[in-house]
Amino acid sequence: MNLIEPANPPSRKAPLVWAIGAAIPWLLLAAGQLVWFALDQRLLWVHTLAAAATAINNIRVIVAHGVPYQ
């Protein structure tokens, strides 16, 4: 199957815009976790696990959306 070039290719800034748009929900989640940690410091391991999962997923989403389609 041969694909043709798109009539209107995305701009060079498009991958950055896609990555930022994808990172916003994860950044909001991280801010919520900071508030949660400030209000309740009893279960440090739960906070650490949630923060690690959020950070890993945020990096994954930014990298995945920042890679241009080929």
Across the chain, which has 70 residues, the per-10-residue mean pLDDT values are: 82 82 85 89 88 86 66
The pLDDT assigned to 54 comes to 87
Inter-helix orientation angle 44-66/14-39, to 10°: 170
Contact 24, 61 (CB under 8 A): no
- Please give the model's pTM, rounded to 2 decimal places: 0.63
What is the distance between the alpha carbons of residues 60 and 22, in angstroms, rounded to a whole number? 10
The pLDDT assigned to 35 comes to 92
Q: Which two tokens stand for residue 46?
A: 């739960």
The pLDDT assigned to 47 comes to 87
